[in-house]
């Protein structure tokens, strides 16, 4: 997993790259990379091939700068577009607590009432609050 340097002036919209082959324990030669583009409106307005070429240009520049071997030719690619990936954190948005009314069933997830927007920190906080509520319920 590596953070990418986003540069909107060059349409280098990637923020993260994940080596899925390694993370999923597949053979290193599997070579499956996933690039994350949040707030992808401008990337999605470009023709798919142009957007992909720009992301690969960013990847080539940043991933292979120095330590890594050059990227091989890309054999296949796919886009996954999640239009409702996270909730919209509007002021006053009602979000559920961790408790459910059942002492043995708690909710955890970034969408619960964590005080944070939909983030990893919110998800961790929610998990901790759910575990504490479960322990407190005996
Ligand atoms: C493109 C993108 C970029 C993001 N970038 C950032 C970032 O840079 N920084 C940041 O802090 N946050 C970021 N986030 C938000 C962050 O990923 C989420 O807030 C966080 O992952 C939420 O964690 P969670 O455990 O609540 O839910 P999830 O991580 O969504 O986990 C829920 C799990 O439940 C599984 N599941 C769902 N339904 C079922 C079912 N019926 N049965 C079994 N399993 C099920 C899902 O497969 C998933 O594995 C990003 C999100 C997206 C989509």
Q: Does the pTM of the predicted model rise above 0.75?
A: yes
Say how far apart CA 46 and CA 54 lie, in whole Å.
10
Q: Which two tokens stand for residue 61?
A: 């520049």
Band of pLDDT at residue 66, cut at 50, 70 and 90: low
Distance 11 CA to ligand 1 centre (A): 26
Domain layout of the chain by residue ranges = 2-63, 88-138
Confidence of residue 138 (pLDDT cuts 50, 70, 90): confident
The ligand 1 site (C-beta within 6 Å) comprises: 36, 38, 82, 85-86, 109-110, 118-123
Please report the atom of ligand 1 found closest to the CA of residue 82: 53
Spatial distance between the Cα atoms of 116 and 118, rounded to a whole number of angstroms: 7
From ligand 1's centre to the CA of 73, what distance in Å?
30
Helix (H, G, I), strand (E, B), or coil: what is residue 15?
coil
| pLDDT grade for 96, boundaries at 50, 70 and 90 | very high
Q: Which of ligand 1's atoms lies nearest the C-alpha of 122?
A: 19
Q: Which of 137, 135, 93, 100 is nearest to 118 (CA)?
A: 93
Instruction: Measure the N-to-C terminal CA separation of the chain; round to a whole number of Å.
Output: 39
- Give the whole-angstrom CA distance, residue 27 versus residue 31: 8
Residue 68 has pLDDT above 80, yes or no: no
């Amino acid at each position: 997993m590596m953070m990418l340097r986003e540069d909107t002036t060059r349409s280098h919209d990637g923020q993260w790259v994940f080596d899925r082959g390694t993370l999923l324990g597949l053979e290193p030669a599997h070579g499956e990379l996933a690039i994350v583009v949040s707030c992808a409106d401008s990337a999605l307005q470009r023709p798919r091939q142009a957007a992909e070429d720009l992301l690969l240009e960013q990847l080539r520049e940043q991933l292979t700068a120095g330590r890594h071997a050059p990227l091989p030719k890309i054999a296949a690619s796919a886009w996954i577009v999640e239009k409702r990936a996270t909730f919209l954190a509007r002021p006053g948005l009602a979000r559920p607590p961790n408790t459910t009314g059942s002492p043995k069933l708690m909710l955890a997830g970034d969408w619960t009432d964590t005080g944070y927007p939909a983030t990893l920190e919110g998800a961790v906080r929610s998990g901790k609050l759910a575990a504490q509520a479960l322990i407190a319920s005996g």
